[in-house]
Amino acid sequence: MLTIIKLIVSAGLIYLVNEIVVTRSRPVIGSLIASLPLVSLITFFWIYFDLKGTPEEQVAKLSAHSSGVFWFVIPSLPMFLIFPALLKRGLSFWSSLGICCVITMILYAATAALLKRFGVSL
């Protein structure tokens, strides 16, 4: 039952943003909602309720997840500037999306390597 609730809430957020942007023609409001760390917060709840073990183990896992999210948000940010720039230059949706995914994967790998070099483990 919990899995169904997770799916409904998670899918509901995506649907809400889509409805606000497409149906209501409010891209700024949709962008604001999408930019909120709602997915991370919901994930925190799901992890917390699914975790078994001592409170210390739960804290360690949630803390590690939160830190990982922080470090991987940074290399994903350029995508939100590159994607519209590519679209404005006339590239198709799929080409722009593919290029952004490749760039983001490269930035993820570079971030992980850089963090490892400075002793930050993810």
Res 38: pLDDT? 78
pLDDT by 10s per residue, the chain, length 122: 678 888 888 888 888 877 877 777 777 777 777 777 877 888 888 888 888 878 888 888 888 888 888 999 999 999 999 999 999 999 999 999 999 999 999 999 999 999 999 998 87
C-beta separation of 114 from 75 below 8 A: no
- Which residues are CB-contacts of 13 (< 8 A; sequence separation ≥ 6)? 33, 38, 39, 42
Res 60: pLDDT? 86
Count Cβ atoms within 10 A of the Cβ of residue 15 and give its class: 0-12 exposed, 13-18 middle, 19 or more buried: exposed
- For residue 17, the SS3 value is helix
pTM: 0.73
